[in-house]
A and B are shown apart, each in its own frame.
Chain A
């Protein structure tokens, strides 16, 4: 069964450092998303991406965040200067044109900012 692949599975970084989280969505999917889940809290929408541009972003997705699809397969989330409160699980998700098959989530990257 096709999968959304995320790397790394766990990243520890110092406050103020830049991190890049990587995702390889399912190959024929068209819509790409980043979500985050702070420990013990709900899964929160960060950003959606379609046709090589951001289609929507949440209030959480401020100027410290950026996304890119540099080569047609990878989908990356960059956090420019990490804060302690950025510590969370980050999930990449993708879907095909409709929602009949739902959104498929990757296994996540646990980001720990120290």
Chain B
């Protein structure tokens, strides 16, 4: 069973601060990693993908990947109240057919 683990939170961060979300995964063969944002009652929305070790920046978001440690993280700079959501870490598993396996999500609240 390929697992993806996240701290379920809730994580509370003041507006303007950096929010740091973490994820570990068990499948050493995985090559593609994604962060999705999910508002309550809505579908997952892709915000970042990362494939290589190191950092990838897109606006206020930075994804970090360390394959040796099987660790993915997401940093949100200058956090806004609209960033309040559940953040889902997802790993593309290649075992037979490809599929995404999700962590349980971290609920993030940005306090004005």
The dominant DSSP class at the B interface is strand
Kindly state whether residue A43 has any CB partner on chain B within 8 Å: yes
Q: Which of A5-32 contact B (CB under 8 A)?
A: 31
Residues of A with C-beta under 8 A to B103 = 42
Whether B46 contacts A102 by the Cβ 8 Å rule is yes
CA A99 – CA B92 in complex, angstroms? 8
Whether B97 contacts A56 by the Cβ 8 Å rule is yes
Whether A50 contacts B97 by the Cβ 8 Å rule is yes
The contact string, 1 if C-beta is below 8 Å from chain A, for chain B 96-109, is 11111111110000
The residue in chain B whose Cβ has the minimal distance to the Cβ of A92 is B43
A34 CB to closest chain B CB (Å) equals 11
Whether A106 contacts B97 by the Cβ 8 Å rule is no
Residues of A with C-beta under 8 A to B104 = 41-42
The contact string, 1 if C-beta is below 8 Å from chain A, for chain B 26-48, is 00000010101000011111100
Whether A43 contacts B99 by the Cβ 8 Å rule is no
CA A110 – CA B103 in complex, angstroms? 21
Residues of B with C-beta under 8 A to A33 = 99-100
The residue in chain A whose Cβ has the minimal distance to the Cβ of B93 is A45
20 A-B contacts, Cβ less than 8 Å apart?
A: A33-B99, A41-B104, A42-B102, A42-B104, A42-B105, A45-B101, A50-B97, A55-B96, A55-B97, A56-B96, A56-B97, A56-B99, A89-B43, A91-B43, A100-B49, A102-B49, A103-B34, A104-B46, A105-B45, A108-B42
